Amino acid sequence: MNLLEFLNRFFGRDNGASKDVAKERLRLVLVHDRVNISPQVVEALKEDLISVINKYMEIDQASLEVSLNSSDGTMALVANIPVLGIRRGA
Amino acid sequence: MGEVLVITSGKGGVGKTTATANIGTGLALMGKKIVMVDTDIGLRNLDVVMGLENRIVYDIVDVVQGNCRLKQALIKDKRFENMYLLPAAQTKDKTAVSEEQMKNLSDNLKTEFDYIVIDCPAGIEQGFKNAIAGAEKAVVVTTPEVSAVRDADRIVGLLESSGLREPKLIINRIRPQMVKKGDMMSMEDIIEILAVDLLGVVPDDESVVVSTNRGEPAVMDKASRAGQAFRNISQRITGEEIPLMNLEANSGWLEKIKRWVTKS
């Protein structure tokens, strides 16, 4: 631990307790472990989502993210899909 | 009829064998008639942790294959009236026994002993399946690290799908000072993530290294904090309600001065 780190800790400015990082990483990895779903299936789901949404909207396919998440014991499929524009008259 | 208890973890090196040796010895200290079974065929270790490595003649594979009688393979621990070890084979592999054979073996041992404590190998393959085949209750050992907790979660899932419902958790090698600083997950954090019942928390303790060097489980050392934790765990296994030990008892100012004085 260098002096700066020490002072930060001493004055309570270190807000990144490493156990919180551990907990959050575990929480996410366990969601995937528990559903036992292969990355290939997630990838296929992603491609199907793109083809459906693409009919109605122009989306940024490169930065699309699909992941499983959980909070309070319920699981959610979280998709973050940046929309570039709406296809009129589709 | 005795009770068959399997000690598992998924990940290696978290303290399964140490836990088995200490729980087994802890139960024997309470006057129970117990046998410890090492199912880590090819990588046996419970014998050295118990200090019984020089007394092996027959092993678990000899028993299930009928090369000897069960009684001939059981090593009686001379330090205790009621404690025995059934060692693993060192020169064979995990396929040398089957799940069916393990179940029969457990059923046989149940008629003779109060507790049968099975030391499970690391991993989730055949060795794991064999170890849990005859078990009625399961204990999962983990340490406060992401890798160990992740594997513990997987093991809990596999145990439950094999019909071993409600496994109990031992959190091993907790370092209270690091937990206090927020640099180690606390027992509350781990229980929240795994959603299983806690059987006990064992502090990280140098006395375990010393006792393993000597082949005398830490529960035999009255001064050992880890030994105390395992004595508590053994009592909980028999159904006694024992409160969790205060992990911070050794971090008071008096202890700090003591440590400082002995260091210099």
Q: Complex ipTM, two decimals? A: 0.81
If you average pLDDT over every residue of chain B, what do you get? Answer: 94
CB contact under 8 A, A30 and B189: no
CA distance A54 to chain B (A): 37
What integer pLDDT is reported at residue A77 of this predicted model?
85
- Domain assignments of chain A as residue spans, ordered by start: 17-86
B89-120 pLDDT, tens digit each = 999 988 999 999 999 999 999 999 999 999 99
> Angle of helix A18-35 relative to helix B187-194, nearest 10 degrees?
20
Through-space distance between the first and last CA atoms of chain A, rounded to whole angstroms = 60
How far apart CA B11 and CA B14 sit, in angstroms, is 7
Query: What DSSP string describes B233-250?
Result: HHHHHTT---PPP-GGGG
What would the CATH number be for the domain defined by B3-263? 3.40.50.300
| pLDDT beneath 70: ranges in chain B | 249-264
| A32 chain-B contacts, CB cut-off 8 A | none
Both tokens assigned to A19: 């156990």
CB contact under 8 A, B183 and A30: no
How far apart CA B208 and CA B218 sit, in angstroms, is 6
Both tokens assigned to A55: 């009919």
B53-66: burial string, b at 16+ Cβ within 10 Å, e else? eeebebbbbbbbee
Count CB pairs under 8 A between chains A and B: 36
B29-55 pLDDT, tens digit each = 999 999 999 999 999 999 999 999 999
| B177 chain-A contacts, CB cut-off 8 A | none
Can you give the length of chain A in residues? 90
Report the DSSP beta bridge partners of residue B89. Answer: none
CA distance A30 to chain B (A): 7
